[in-house]
Amino acid sequence: MKKLMTGDEAVARGLYEAGVSFASAYPGTPSTEILENASQYDEIYTEWAPNEKVAMEAAVGASMAGVRSFAAMKMVGVNVAADPLFTFAYLAVNGGFAFVSADDPGMHSSQNEQDNRNYAKFMKIAMVEPSDSQECLDMTKEAYRLSREFEVPVMIRMTTRVCHSKSLVQEGVRHEEPPVLYEKHPERNDAIPAVSKVRRYVVEEREEKLKSYTNDCPWNYSEMHDTKIGIVAAGAAYTYAKEVFGDNASYFKVGLTYPMPLKKIREFRDAVDEMYVIEELDPFMEELIRSAGIDCHGKDVIPKIDELNPNIIAEAILGKEFEYSDVPTELLVPRPPTFCAGCPHRGFFYELGKRKDTVMIGDIGCYALGGAEPLNAIDLAVCMGSAFAVGHGMFHAFEKSGQNKRVVSVMGDSTFFHTGINSLTEVAYNGSTTINVILDNRITGMTGHQENPGTGYNIKGDTATLIDIETVVRALGLTNVRTVNPLDLKAMKETLDWAYAITDGPSVIITKWPCVLKKFSKEDREQFDINVTAFEVAEDKCIGCKKCLSTGCPALRFADEKRKSMISVDCVGCGVCAQVCPVKAISRKEAH
């Protein structure tokens, strides 16, 4: 029986069927659901790692120990994991090793639009690129066969559409792969210069073997129909092209996308009148094809910015729009992203946004929404875990250039464990009079509530060591540290006043309150006075000043005809609006 699966679910099933024993990841959209689903298989040890580098290192260690291992991450996570990965490409893959790079064309949930296929060429490793959920399962299994046969790490390159789209999948059974018993081989595994110099030649020999194999690989094949147009494509781009052209074009489907099957593609080119390379995002395949002296169209007609779709391809190649049903734009209601009703970050950003002569530095998490109207409390952000170090550099630059600015740097709890500890170490070691804020909402919020080292639970929901953020901060040698409930606006204001008054060194504020969407643990209920009873507006008291709307809470409405504020059923009782109201027109329902 076939099942409907997303690409992420299918990869998880592929790990199970391939006999994988170890899987590690840091949650990052669109890859998060791979580990969430893999954790359901007891045969696979699964874990959330503090960051992608650690996940990669742990998976490398498991492979060196002789079992099939796996790591998953979104494309920017590979930047974090690149250090161990580049070196592991030189060393011996023992039990079999693959990892997912989930790219995000169109930047649906990412801070850049990098094309990680370039990593495969850069590292000289093998890469497969599935187009649908069945291929996600099958190519995951194939990745481990390739890894063992060629002793090579294998990248499974996915994109948001492949990760999150659903298609039918035929499940198989698990193949228990016996471990390769560990033996000491420092000449293959000890990455010192003397060993790496020798292994460098092994990498080149391995790549030549892969280049020979790719032209025989069953995942690289042609589909001949009308030969006026020939399409070379992989991944989601292949399915888009099939939607546009159907049998009115011929196709060369690339499954093993590095090394490229250039011999087969040359034969395909000879069989068609014109050939187009359709790919997201960079001209990765196109440049390899052109370098082999094979004529083709590519980025001269296909955009290299943003996600592709059938309409873009039809307009670029055929000069006409692809026929599809669209929703009339006049029926669409603008819905800019905002903090959820009751989000614990709202109180902090509401108070921070009032500060003058302040540079407000954000990071990667749902708190990035603090920069949106009406809060306007983030000026800039760079990459995950960077906020404290960026703020540190800005402080010293302002001091040197005579600019009178205060610097407030903000990141979340999971981000702090990811790479924020290193960032805060920079502040503690080299010193800067910055205000460093850790927003602890007791969960990894942005990617859908995964556990982290500060929650006290692991990926299976079992009790785990809880690493206390304030203890870690003080262990770094920082002494100006306060923890505050961000929903208490008076306490939040006083805490910011305290931090702004410090002029001879760094301070750290830890805001601590659980995410409103979280399934509260018994520890949450014991530690926090959680009351989700909604608030309401007394119309006879409301003066229509709209002060409550300045909090940006989506549960608040303003009735123009009455000139009164209203609170919808979305309210979860955080009470921030009641503290803002100048005439005390807002109160908790249970008070009546």
What pLDDT shows up at residue 177?
86
- Flag whether the pTM goes above 0.85: yes
What pLDDT shows up at residue 283?
97
For 535-591, CATH number? 3.30.70.20
What pLDDT shows up at residue 334?
80
Distance CA(410)–CA(417), nearest Å, equals: 13
Architecture of domain 2-214 in CATH?
Answer: 3-Layer(aba) Sandwich (3.40)
What pLDDT shows up at residue 140?
98
Distance CA(12)–CA(35), nearest Å, equals: 7
Distance CA(27)–CA(48), nearest Å, equals: 7
Distance CA(442)–CA(41), nearest Å, equals: 26
Residue 340 has, within 13 A of its CA and on its CB side, a CA count of 16
Q: Do domains 221-318 and 345-527 have the same CATH topology?
A: yes
Distance CA(26)–CA(35), nearest Å, equals: 9
For 221-318, CATH number? 3.40.50.920
What pLDDT shows up at residue 458?
95
Q: What is the sign, positive or negative, of the torsion defined by CA atoms of 329, 332, 336, 337?
A: negative
Six token digits for residue 445? 């919020």
Contact 358/399 with Cβ under 8 angstroms? no
Read off the pLDDT of residues 504-515 as tens digits, 9 standing for 90 and up: 999 999 999 999
**Which CATH superfamily is 345-527 part of?**
Thiamin diphosphate (ThDP)-binding fold, Pyr/PP domains (3.40.50.970)
Q: What is the CA radius of gyration of the chain?
A: 27
Torsion of CA 544, 547, 548, 552, to 10 degrees: 120
What pLDDT shows up at residue 569?
93
Q: Pairing relation of β-strands 221-223 and 586-588?
A: unpaired
Contact 265/289 with Cβ under 8 angstroms? yes
Domains of the chain, residue spans:
2-214, 221-318, 345-527, 535-591
| Chain-centroid distance, C-alpha 268 | 37
Contact 103/157 with Cβ under 8 angstroms? yes
Nearest Cα to 215, choosing from 271, 251, 255?
255
Where the chain has pLDDT below 70, the residues are 322-324, 591-592
What pLDDT shows up at residue 337?
86
What pLDDT shows up at residue 152?
97
Distance CA(252)–CA(269), nearest Å, equals: 9
